[in-house]
Amino acid sequence: MLTRLYIANYALIDQLEIEFNDGLTIITGETGAGKSIIMGALSLILGERADTHAIRDRQAKTIVEATFDIKDYRLNAFFDNNDIDYYEHECIVRREIGVNGRSRAFVNDTAVTVSVLRELTSHLVDIHSQHSNMLLSRPQFQLSVLDNIAGNASMLKTYSARYSHYKALQSMLRSQQESYNKGKAEMDYLRFQLNQFDELKLHKGEEDELEELQKKLSNVTDSKEALWKVETALDGEENSIISQLSTLSQVLADTENNLSEIAGLSDRMQSAVIELKDIAHSVMSVNDDLNDDPEQLEQVTQRLDAIYSLERKHNVKSVDELLDIEARYRRQIEEIDNSDERIGQLKHDIEVQEKELASLSHQLSTRRKQAASDFVCQLLPLAQGLGMKNLKFDVKFIPVGYGPSGCDAVEFLFAFNKNQDLLPVQETASGGEISRLMLSIKTIIARIMNLPTIIFDEVDTGVSGDIASRIGDMMGDIAKHIQVIAITHLPQVAAHGMHHMKVFKTDAVDGTYTSVQVLNREEHVLEIARMLSGKDVNQAAIDNAKSLVAMSE
């Protein structure tokens, strides 16, 4: 339950600290005193959007901090899952709005996202205001009421996961079918392109090899003539280089006997002769192997032309890049060819998911129908106790396709007068009747969900007299089980309060401030008397207030 609320630098509040107790706490105050400001601060704790216009002093940050007693609510798993320190008896939630307008959220001094904050506080407190009455006409709210009564939270979580997977599979199937249809339209084009590659049968590095061979074949005649000249000069005539060197080598050998200074030169000369003979042999061998082949040259040139043409077509500059394009075409064709198999598998997976969804949605529907029967039995006496003695109520189930919450749509149907047809609430109920219906529904949900705290923000608008007293009785009954905080303008409701706080404004030199006063027993009676008679409280109003308090106890 909420045990403490601290507000600093928020709207008309400079600094305010309020301590709360269990049971029914009443908050009253004149219009404009600042009750809505306190509710606005509480909404920040619940994860609502921060409004920078609410910052009082633009040079300081706004702080709203709430302390909750959580010892009986088994929330340790939530704290573990979100890496937040868990204290068995206490949880401190804080929102800060910096001077730059940036909002930050903390749980037990650990920074958290607003979504985490919102999830946590949804287990701790529920605020019901006049605006909440509009929810009663919304189908999703009506369905959530039945799910709360049926205790469907766990099953809905399982169903939601299956449904998300089901929708993802459907999306994948649509995408796969679109790709397949598009691919089939492109298949002829892809096969035509690939045929050109198949005809060439390209291999890595081929272009360089062909260009080298083309160069070689194009210059065979010139090469053979040059090699013949070298071969002839070296060893082809009587006066060849080798012949002359051999003669000179012998001359040196004969001279060495008479001139020791040239010893060994003839051997060196002879080595040169041997090397030149080897060169001449190699030149002759290459020349013999080198044949002029115009037909081969034509074949090489044609293949190179085909490669160059394909490169220009695909705007690339090498065979390696062409091979990459060929591989891509093959992959695309393979993917299209395999699409039938993938589409078949996806259809099978969708069928499996549909069977699981059918089973889960049937279970949800069965539980909701039982909950609807229980809900009717619980709501009618509560609402009739609030003055709607002729109320008739039923829940209409409308089968729909698989949706995020199952296969059910529901519609709450009401009749408030005798011989009146059952109609949707927005077509038959007044504002006061909707307020009382919502109060009754919240009473039922609060009992089932075991929420620590429920806050009623002027939900008694549009009622008075005996009905107002009955609303006070109902709030008092709820407060026997959970903490109830009620902001009210009705003395009949305020009289039921175990604790009473008065919100008021004071004017100072530097501005107007909102404050809160915790009332004692005597002040409680006087405030109810003021609510009965206005500013001028007389003894009759005080006696009437005492009577209201006595009747509520």
Q: What is the CATH number of the domain that holds 27?
A: 3.40.50.300
Please name the amino acid found at residue 417: N
- d(C-alpha 528, C-alpha 524), whole Å: 6
List Cα–Cα distances, 26 to 55, 457, 494, in angstroms.
Answer: 27, 10, 6
Please name the amino acid found at residue 230: V
**Tally of domains in the chain:** 2
Residues 94 and 7 in one domain: yes
- d(C-alpha 532, C-alpha 535), whole Å: 9
- d(C-alpha 510, C-alpha 185), whole Å: 77
Residues 116 and 222 in one domain: no
Residue partners of 258: CB distance under 8 A and separation at least 6: none
How many CB atoms are located within 10 Å of the residue 218 CB?
Answer: 13
Q: Tell me the chain's radius of gyration from C-alpha atoms.
A: 48
What helix, strand, coil percent values describe the chain, rounded to 5? Answer: 60, 20, 20
Is the residue at 186 inside a domain? yes
- d(C-alpha 424, C-alpha 420), whole Å: 12
Is the residue at 143 inside a domain? no
Residues 191 and 117 in one domain: no
Q: Pick from 519, 393, 545: which is nearest to 29 by CA?
A: 519
Which region, left, alpha or beta, applies to residue 74 given φ > 0 means left and ψ of -120 to 50 means alpha?
left
- Answer with the one of 337, 365, 396 that is the final residue of a domain: 337
* Number of Cα atoms under 13 Å in the Cβ half of residue 314: 22
Is the residue at 114 inside a domain? yes
How many CB atoms are located within 10 Å of the residue 292 CB?
Answer: 11
Is the residue at 406 inside a domain? no
Residues 333 and 186 in one domain: yes
- Answer with the one of 337, 370, 391 that is the final residue of a domain: 337
Q: How far is CA 533 from the centre of its chain?
A: 55
Residues 207 and 288 in one domain: yes
Q: Pick from 99, 103, 107: which is nearest to 81 by CA?
A: 107
Burial-class residue 509 by CB neighbours within 10 Å (0-12, 13-18, 19+).
exposed
Q: What is the pLDDT of residue 73?
A: 81
Residues 539 and 460 in one domain: yes
- d(C-alpha 528, C-alpha 534), whole Å: 10
Is the residue at 352 inside a domain? no
Burial-class residue 42 by CB neighbours within 10 Å (0-12, 13-18, 19+).
buried
Q: Pick from 518, 496, 514: which is nearest to 506 by CA?
A: 514
Is the residue at 431 inside a domain? no
- Entry field: residues in the chain: 553
pLDDT in tens, 221-238: 667 667 777 877 888 777
- d(C-alpha 549, C-alpha 478), whole Å: 18
- Answer with the one of 287, 316, 337 that is the final residue of a domain: 337
Is the residue at 10 inside a domain? yes
Residues 331 and 219 in one domain: yes
Residue partners of 394: CB distance under 8 A and separation at least 6: 376, 413, 422
Q: What is the pLDDT of residue 351?
A: 95
Q: What is the pLDDT of residue 357?
A: 95
Is the residue at 219 inside a domain? yes
pLDDT in tens, 406-443: 999 999 999 999 999 999 988 888 877 888 888 888 88
Contact by Cβ (8 Å): 25, 486: yes
CB pairs under 8 A, 24+ apart, for 178-181? 179/335, 179/339, 180/336, 180/339, 180/340, 180/343
Residues 199 and 119 in one domain: no
Residues 116 and 186 in one domain: no
Residues 93 and 209 in one domain: no
Residues 190 and 333 in one domain: yes
List the end-to-end C-alpha distance of the chain, in Å, as a whole number.
23
Residues in the chain where the model's pLDDT stays below 50: none
Domain that includes residue 288, residue range: 181-337
Angle at which helix 465-478 crosses helix 431-449, to 10 degrees, equals: 10
How many CB atoms are located within 10 Å of the residue 379 CB?
Answer: 21
How many CB atoms are located within 10 Å of the residue 122 CB?
Answer: 13
Q: What is the pLDDT of residue 527?
A: 94
Residues 119 and 236 in one domain: no
